[in-house]
Structure 1
């Protein structure tokens, strides 16, 4: 059985990627970094698998499903 995808918070994302907070939010706006998920009124996080995919290949990362129809 597959483990559920964890939600990780900004501090963990900063530690894992080595990027600054402002760089992460700029990349989100550009569409070159995974977008946040709203998890409560004042909280948000990221799917751990999305961050892992970005770390594995940051240059060619795209949101899941984008350009899948081009094959």
Structure 2
């Protein structure tokens, strides 16, 4: 079942501070999240997990381990 995560949990999961993630969103390097009808923004945990896997796969040290 999909979970909706607030920015604080997203930042903890990704390992970046919230301001870094907001900058990455503005630059198009992180999913923008979904605006909720009740206010605020939430991220699907599966989208965050996908981003983490793509970022890991693109890291130079990951490519060395996969080779």
Same fold (TM over 0.5): yes
Q: TM-score, normalised by structure 2?
A: 0.72
Structure 2 regions of 5+ residues with no counterpart? Answer: 59-67
Higher normalized helix content (fraction of residues):
2
1:18 is the counterpart of 2:12: no
In structure 1, list runs of 5 or more residues that go unmatched: 62-71
Q: How many pairs does the alignment contain?
A: 58
User: SS in structure 2 opposite 1:58?
Assistant: helix
Indicate how the Cα distance of structure 1 residues 33 and 60 shifts in structure 2: closer, same or farther if over 3 A, else same: farther
The TM-score, its normalising length taken from structure 1, stands at: 0.68
Runs of 4+ aligned residues of structure 1 deviating over 4 Å after TM superposition are: none
Q: How does 1:41-56 map to 2 (within 5 A)?
A: 41-56=38-53
Give the SS at the match of 1:25.
helix
Classify 1:43/1:12 alpha carbon distance in 2 versus 1 (closer, same or farther; 3 Å): same
